[in-house]
Amino acid sequence: MKKLLVFAFLVAIVAGTVNASVATGNKDVVGEWKYEVPTAPYGYEAGTLVITEKEGKLAGQVKFEDGYKIDLKNVTYVDGVFKCGLYVDYEYVSIKGKITGKELSGAVESPEGEMKITAKKVK
């Protein structure tokens, strides 16, 4: 009986540690990020990525400078790598970037090819 109680206690501690580390990691990416994609088509080359967390899951949207917003799909942040996708003019575009401190650098994959993206966290 004692072994069962000790085992249950250890499982609870490990589960709590894993949940705490996942939640802490998301804090690095949650917020507003001003981004630039210099080679993107006019109107899409700058804006804001707004990343939120709801019930432990990441979500977000892109706000373009003209005020237009698009929801992000499949938002993940694992081991310092941020990934997401979105539909722009009926075409799926994916974003993958490495976050270091308050800066993101990576690539945008679109039907037109790969483009460089950079972003800085503002909130």
Q: What is the pLDDT of residues 63-118, one digit of tens each?
A: 999 999 999 999 999 999 999 999 999 999 999 999 999 999 999 999 999 999 99
Pair 94, 82: CB distance under 8 Å: no
Task: Give the domain CATH number at 53.
Answer: 2.40.128.120
Q: What is the pLDDT of residue 24?
A: 52
Q: What pLDDT was estimated at residue 25?
A: 77
User: Is residue 6 over pLDDT 90?
Assistant: no
> In this structure, are strands 31-36 and 46-54 parallel, antiparallel, or unpaired?
antiparallel
Taking the C-alpha atoms of residue 103 and residue 96, their distance in angstroms, rounded to an integer, is 13
pLDDT at 63: 97
pLDDT for position 116: 98
Domain with 49, as residue range(s), is 2-121
In tens, the pLDDT along 7-65 reads 434 333 333 333 333 445 789 999 999 999 999 999 999 999 999 999 999 999 999 99
Name the 3-class secondary structure at 64. strand
| DSSP-assigned letter for residue 44 | T
Number of domains in the chain: 1
Distance separating alpha carbons of residues 48 and 12, to the nearest angstrom: 39
